[in-house]
Amino acid sequence: MSLSFSGQVALVTGGAAGIGRATALAFANEGLKVVVSDVDAAGGEGTVELIRGTGGDATFVPCDVTQDAQVKALMEAILAAYGRLDYAFNNAGIEIEQGKLADGNETEFDAIMGVNVKGVWLCMKHQIPLLLAQGGGAIVNTASVAGLGAAPKMSIYAASKHAVIGLTKSAAVEYAKKKIRVNAVCPAVIDTAMFRRAYEADPKKGEFAAAMHPVGRIGKVEEIATAVLYLCCDNAAFTTGHALAVDGGATAI
């Protein structure tokens, strides 16, 4: 099955590395113009250079997704550069805490909720008017398998990802008749710098992370990128309000 895209411009937040970078490259490989955004300017520019190195068209725009003015400015920059927005992958997020609920603190809670929830809400708030002006489009938000059930010792992170799925489903219903599709991708453990920070310092935790997936390994960033592109493409025109687990069978247990 070949992917079928009718639009021209895709935005990837959290595009400096990992899943965001892989997805930005995948969009570019399909011929789309890509806006890469992140608080990590060096990483974001690096993603753009990788795209341009293969003949693609990409632009980096710095943005802290927790700041309304910066998200609004990001949308203005997209219009200035390309005149339209067709697809958005709201991927910016921060990592899990490591501890039981009662051991958490307010600073940690506010940081996780600020990026993972407020950031997704602000992005959709400002993306939807652009998509309405285009007569439709698609948004994919990064949730997690932690948003599909319990996640011991990372309750704040899990709550943030449950919230992302709630935002996704609600927006999908609100804008379905306006031809805007909104879905979420729910990765399990993926081989990213975030994973390595959390697990590789303790090899036993890394082994456990692999074993928790029935396929016997952690996921690859390219596998999440493939899922995101499917949810955006015209072949998924009847899919909206869905939280797609890409998890090596972890949620099937």
Catalytic residues: 157
Q: How far apart are CA 129 and CA 199, in angstroms?
A: 40
CB atoms within 10 A of CB 3: 16
Backbone angles phi and psi of 157, in degrees to 5? -60, -45
Angstrom distances, CA of residue 187 to CA of 7, 228, 251 = 25, 11, 10
Residues 51 and 58: beta-carbon distance below 8 Å: yes
Tokens 């411009």 -> residue:
9
Residues 108 and 151: beta-carbon distance below 8 Å: no
Q: How far apart are CA 85 and CA 37, in angstroms?
A: 14
